Structure 1
Amino acid sequence: MRLHHFRSLLAFVVVPFALTFINSVASAVETVQHRTGEVASAHQWEVIDIGFQVETVASQPVDVKFSATFTNDSGDRLEVPGFFDGNKDYVIRFTSSFAGRWSYVTHSDVGELDGKTGGIDVAAAQQGRNGGVVIDPNAARQFRYENGTSYYPIAFECDWLFALDAENATDIPNTRSFVDSLAKDGFNQIVMNVFAYDVNWKKDERLRPEHEYGHPKVFPFGGNNNSPDHSQINVDYFKRLDRVIEYLDQKGIVAHLMIYVWNKEVNWPAANSDADNRYFDYVVRRYQAYPNIVWDVSKEALGYGHTDVNYIHQRIERLRQGDAFKRLITVHDYSYCNRFQENVDFVSVQLWSSELYSVMRNVCERIPGKPILNIEHGGYEKGPYVVFTGNYTSPEVCLERAWQCVFAGTYPTHYWQGAAWNAIIADIESLAPEDRPRLDYYRHMRAFVDKYDVGRLKAGDKMSNAGFCLHNGDQLYVYYVPKECDFIGIKLPKELMGRTMRGTWFNPFDGTYDNPVDKEIVQWPAFEVPIGEGFRILVLKFQPTVQVE
């Protein structure tokens, strides 16, 4: 049985639901040097790097064919590609989806790297380690971790995350400060680029140099963005990017890694050239073992005339062939996902419509059977600098739109103008309170969706005379009530008539719950909306249906 098939089976594991916030288990990559016959130690769902050295480096060391076949005691086999790591070093980066003994043998067109044997004893997962993100085989709209626990993404876009400490050879203090803020407030996915250069719109004259990450000095190829040597991979660049991906993994945050971006002034090699393929393959080889990776071929994939659908087809196929761990794939382009649904594992949409809930429900109807992430809903929360305004900048309106994505049965992504693009304020706590983003709103969202396991609730049914409903068909009905409503009339199934329901109002802006109110279920029971600004969420609970034998 191939390991990626085993990974799919793992998603069937039933794990009791519990209210959990972002995993903060520290887990740095284990690094060992290969020694023939020796057995290394690792933990399930944690990365181990096995190092190999050569005496003579090839003229194009990145192109050396190098891989290892891993075999476990059950006979499962996994062919893992290796990569050049600079100097005279090569690495096989490996993560096991289950505990037990693995043996490996290497394969290479370089004699010094060929036929090397060794083993790894993989201990059971440490607390908080859940594995990679997969599609729930029992609920095609939902994500799960490999161990079966729920993964409900609340994403945050930070295209230049790679740059925060890219010029710091020894540490990542800015990255830690920024990522810690996001983890504390419930975000568990960051949409980021492998590399971006600069924005093509006018910059705020108030932008301070310490917050400006456009025109980075670092570059993933030889040379620099203005005078590139695309024939060379800058290994040191990727070593520093490793630190970012690893820290996200430690904080339980998925790296939604966009391999390309076309509208951020990057001097890319020609599409499908040897240099292009070398870069693409290197990224896939280097990052596939991280359990917190999901792939995105390109931001703005079909925009700006850089490529066509055939190129994206080819990149996806190349990715699937090169990724031994079968991480999920999407494309930051709704037109592509809509036309070629079978090519992606989940759908990324960019929809800014004012009436967002209905638009997202239409996407669900057009694209059945896949999770849908609104990667860009047109809301860009205001910050100390004007970077890119979109249509909506109020943090309250941005939150409202995010919750409409939730109630449509889809997933939200948040943008803050102080971090989404070239302008990044890494130390959010250093800002005056009035300048800080309202990330706390998303901490309340995280607590709510975890408490009620919102990903399992059904969306789209008309169960009231206003607003939107999520429900499980029996004991739990949850309503998004628009800010315009003073009252909401509830319409419930006839079989619930005469029973008692308990309604509790949730304030999505401060995370508080009002005292519950009990009502008898009549044909059109109504609830008065609490006084206050903004929309509210009503939670209705019922006693379980008694089965009469």
Structure 2
Amino acid sequence: MFTKILLRLFLCVWFCRALPSVAQTTIVNKPIERWGLYEVALAGPSSGNPFTDVQLTAEFSSGDKHITVTGFYDGNGTYKIRFMPSEIGKWSYRTVSNAKQLAGKSGSFVCITPSESNHGPVNVWNTYNFQYANGKPYYPFGTTAYAWTNQPELVQEQTLATLKKAPFNKIRMCVFPKTYSYVEEEPTMYAYEEKSRTQGPNGTIRHEWDFTRFNPAFFQHLEKRIADLARLNIEADLIIFHPYDKGRWGFDNMGMKNDLFYIKYLVARLSAYQNVWWSMANEFDYIKTKPRDAWDVYSKTVVDADPYHHLCSIHNGSDYYDNWKPYFTHVSIQNGSTVDDFGRAVLLRDAYRKPVIYDEVCYEGNLPQRWGHLSPEEMTEAFWQGIIAGTYVTHGETYRTPGDTIFWAEGGKLHGQSPSRIGFLRNLLEQEPGPLELADPWKDHRTSQADSSHYLIYFGKQMQSEWLFNLPKKGAPAAGTVFKAELIDTWNMTITPISDTFRLTDVKDYRVYDDKMQKIRLPMRPYLAIRLTQVKQ
């Protein structure tokens, strides 16, 4: 009898002790919006080197859909797994790990309808353009602030305040700090654990890093800023490598093994953020420590590690990379001449048959370098030349103002006159029923259309007293169609309705005209445009 009582007590104690373990293993969490970020945090081993010794993945399942994501070590014995659900409904997960504390953990959550401001990640649409995952068109109107997250906290907050009021919905930014003209600050945090530090005779600091151990605080800060941008509906075009190290920190010369280790850690941490884009490099061909064929290895690693297939590109200095390769979703180009005049921007679009973003066309500013002193008119003109050709352009500002930062590298405040004009153009484009493209790219580089009912004709620097109403035959609606017209002053940001209407007549020599051969009188000013909209009858 005594033996039976002891056995019952043992079973009772064992069962009570087992209950918390079961509760910890299966976790049901609060609902997550579609394309939101779901995070699992687990306690695990901190001895040895958790970055290299521990492998952690999780399979997320919903119905027939199964997605495997990689976890990462976040310091202080904490491991994290992040997931971005693409489908509404219940999702479950289960972990796999070589560490017992992390293996076999399971849980679930419900993915709910996204809020109005949550459009999801940006994808390529219709060969040459972009749209959000929910189908809303996305037109990249970007800017540049390479090292803004490596600046003092007050400058970073000023950058966010500036971006909140600016017209930009994308920002090109680096992971690593940079040392370049007018950018010499030492960052407050680094991506790696520091082994030693020495100071040279001229005051320069020399670091020795452990490239097998990341500094989680650095990446936590970067994530915070990416989330800040997401709240402003700004895409973070994240530059993974760049040539502006020059031996100061050595992040441009870590060797392929360490480069790949860094890429996998970066993607594991950031890929669940919906507003992340991957830019393999800024001016890849100026990074002399990496042979050209290494970029295939790096690019494939990013694409294979990212379960959500975020947008991915590679940016050139002087030589274009092989942008036709499948790793790259779109083309990122440095070349100001492509948007200097009519008919140039469309050429690379036709060659690559992918969306083209002229991410560096020189900068509005007052620096003596040839790339740093575009006038605001020239920067605005570059955007118009890109947009009417069915491509896109990225802004940058390099005004050197006493007591202030230079936005192109450090962020802070904007001083230029082009951003408001760029915002005016963005509003015009977003009023169209779809993206613009040249109506007749062979012979007419001024006339762009969203469809046969909506045209935008841009005159650029040309000044003329009148414009004879005419459209290319290609894509034009039938004779008898009536259009209304508006005169747009792209610099003064005004839209003036034209009182007359215009009725199309039959095709004559590849053009269609108004049946009365009417003309629109123009003020003798540069940077004018005409918007035509079909009148429903």
- Which protein has greater RCO, CA pairs closer than 8 Å, 6+ apart? 1
Query: Displacement of 1:516 after TM fit?
Result: 2.6
TM-score with structure 1 setting the length = 0.81
CA contact (8 A) 2:346 2:441 kept: no
Percent of aligned positions that are identical: 21
- 1:491 is the counterpart of 2:470: yes
Deviations 1:483-517 (CA, angstroms, capped at 9, x unpaired)? 32213334323865454321101222343211233
Alpha-carbon distance between aligned partners in 1 of 2:230 and 2:424, rounded to the nearest angstrom? 22
2:375 paired residue among 394, 401, 410? 394
Where 1:91 maps in the other structure, the secondary structure is strand
Structure 2 match to 1:351? 335
Check conservation: 1:39, 1:118, Cα contact below 8 A: yes
Q: Is the 8 A contact 2:95 2:103 kept in 1?
A: yes
- Is 2:313 the counterpart of 1:330? yes
Residue matched to 1:318: 301
Q: 2 CA distance for matches of 1:338 and 1:489? A: 43
Q: Hey, what does 1:277 align to over in structure 2?
A: 260
1:226 pairs with 2:209 = no
CA distance in 2, matches of 1:327, 1:458: 25
Say whether 1:114 aligns with 2:103. Answer: yes
Query: Deviation string for 1:314-357 (max 9, x for gaps)?
Result: 01111111111111110012844446443311001111217444
Q: CA RMSD in A?
A: 2.6
CA distance in 2, matches of 1:215, 1:300: 22
**Residue 272 of structure 2 corresponds to which residue in structure 1?**
289
Match of 2:61 among 67, 71, 78: 71
Instruction: For 1:476 and 1:118, locate their aligned partners in 2 and report how far apart those are by CA, in whole Å.
Output: 51
Q: Distance in 2 between matches of 1:518 and 1:376?
A: 41
- For residues 125-174 of structure 1, give each alpha carbon's deviation from its aligned partner in whole angstroms, at most 9, with x where no partner exists: 112101111112xx111111111111110010110121234xx5xxxx54
Structure 2: stretches of 5+ with no match in the other structure: 1-22, 198-204, 400-404, 503-513
Matched, 1:235 2:216: yes
1:539 aligns with 2:531: yes
* Aligned residues of 1:341 and 1:367 also touching (Cα < 8 A): no
* Matches of 1:280 and 1:288, distance apart in 2: 11
The structure having more radius of gyration, on CA atoms, is 2
Is the contact between residue 173 and residue 237 of structure 2 (CA under 8 Å) also seen in structure 1? Answer: yes
Amino acid at match of 1:64: V
The size of the alignment, in residue pairs, is 480
Q: 2:142 aligns with which of 151, 155, 158?
A: 155
The offset of 1:309, in angstroms, is 2.5
Which amino acid is the alignment partner of residue 113 of structure 2? A
Secondary structure of the residue that 2:116 maps to in structure 1? coil
Q: Which has the higher strand share?
A: 2
CA distance in 2, matches of 1:309, 1:464: 37
Alignment map for 1:56-455 (pairs within 5 Å) = 56-72=46-62, 74-136=63-125, 139-165=126-152, 168=153, 174-199=155-180, 201=181, 203=182, 214-223=185-194, 226-229=206-209, 230-265=211-246, 266-268=249-251, 270=253, 272-333=255-316, 335-338=319-322, 340-353=324-337, 355-368=340-353, 370-378=354-362, 380-382=363-365, 386=367, 388-390=369-371, 392-418=373-399, 424=410, 426-428=412-414, 435-455=415-435
TM-score, normalised relative to structure 2: 0.83
Show CA shifts across 1:282-312 (max 9, x none). Answer: 1111110100011011111122422222110
Looking at structure 1, the residues matched to 357 and 328 of structure 2 have their Cα atoms a distance apart, in angstroms, of: 12
Of the structure 1 ranges 296-305 and 148-157, higher mean CA displacement relative to structure 2 is found in 296-305
Match of 1:21? none
Residues 220-277 of structure 1 deviation map (CA, whole Å, 9 limit, x = unaligned): 1122773131232111111111111010111110000010101343512645443222
CA distance in 2, matches of 1:131, 1:104: 22
**116-125 vs 416-425, greater mean Cα deviation:** 416-425
Asked if the contact 1:501/1:518 (under 8 Å) is kept, the reply is: no
For the residue of structure 1 that corresponds to 2:213, the secondary structure is: strand
Mapped contact 1:163–1:213 kept (Cα < 8 A): no
Q: Give the corresponding residue for 2:202.
A: none
Q: Which residue of 2 aligns with 1:468?
A: 446
